[in-house]
Structure 1
Amino acid sequence: MAFEKIKENTDDLQDRAKEFLDANIAYYKLWGFKLAMKSTTLMLKLFMLSIMLVIVTLFFSIALALAIGYSLDNFAYGFLIVGAIYFVLALLVYYTQDKIVEGPILRTFSKLFFKKY
């Protein structure tokens, strides 16, 4: 009689442990899906925004080069000056890239990964 009661209790304990593990697995699958979707949509948004900014920068650069070319009466000088400006900006970004890129990306993804639920 006592052994049957113990057997029922262990069977019940096993069933509850299985339910608990299944619920945890389902929770972490859902959490992983949510995290993957947030990071994917964030990257897609950044990609689309960067494409638009590249197009805007291209048109403004051409307009600036033409304006400088008109004022100097030589379009080649206008495009060379704009190219030199971009070269200086590229050097500036190259030397400060760690501060510009790593910090904001680390902060953004840390908020996503380590958010308390």
Structure 2
Amino acid sequence: MAFEEIKENAEDLKQEVKNLIDANLRYYKLWGFKIVMKSTTMMLKLFLLAVMLTIVTVFFSIALALGIGYWLDNFAYGFLIVGLIYLILAILVYYVQDKIVEGPMLSRFSKIFLKKY
């Protein structure tokens, strides 16, 4: 009689462990889906924002170049000056890129991936 009870308890324990493993597996699949979706939507938002800012920058650059060209009575000089401004900005960004990009990106993704649930 005692052996039958132990056998039944062992089978119940086996079933409960299987249910626990299945529940954990479903949880981690859902958690992974959540992380992937947050990352994807954040990247899509950043991409759309970058596209819009690029369009705005192009139009402002053309307007600035034309304005400087009217002021100097030479459109080529206006576009050259705007080009030099962008070249100087590119050199500055190159030298401080780690501080601008790495810190904020690491911080944002750390909040998403390392959040305790």
Q: TM-score, normalised by structure 2?
A: 0.99
Q: Secondary structure at the match of 1:45?
A: helix
Give the corresponding residue for 1:80. Answer: 80
Equivalent residues in 2 for 1:42-81, closer than 5 Å: 42-81=42-81
Instruction: Find the aligned partners of 2:54 and 2:104 in 1 and give their Cα distance.
Output: 20
Give the corresponding residue for 1:40. Answer: 40
Give the drift of 1:2: 1.0
Give the corresponding residue for 1:92. Answer: 92
Give the corresponding residue for 2:8. Answer: 8
Percent of aligned pairs with the same residue?
A: 73
Q: Kindly provide the CA deviation profile for residues 3-34 of structure 1, in whole angstroms up to 9, marking residues without a partner as x.
A: 11110011000000000000000000000001
Give the corresponding residue for 1:101. Answer: 101
Give the drift of 1:45: 0.2
Q: TM-score, normalised by structure 1?
A: 0.99
Instruction: Find the aligned partners of 1:66 and 1:115 in 2 and give their Cα distance.
Output: 50
Give the corresponding residue for 1:21. Answer: 21
Q: Structure 1 residue runs of 4+, over 4 Å off?
A: none
Instruction: Find the aligned partners of 2:33 and 2:63 in 1 and give their Cα distance.
Output: 45
Instruction: Find the aligned partners of 1:80 and 1:93 in 2 and give their Cα distance.
Output: 20
Instruction: Find the aligned partners of 2:116 and 2:5 in 1 and give their Cα distance.
Output: 41
**Where in structure 2 are there 5+ consecutive unaligned residues?**
none
Cα RMSD, aligned residues only? 0.4
Alignment-mate amino acid for residue 67 of structure 2:
A
Q: Give the count of matched residue pairs.
A: 117
Q: Secondary structure at the match of 2:115?
A: coil
Q: Kindly provide the CA deviation profile for residues 67-112 of structure 1, in whole angstroms up to 9, marking residues without a partner as x.
A: 0000000000000000000000000000000011101110000000
**Where in structure 1 are there 5+ consecutive unaligned residues?**
none
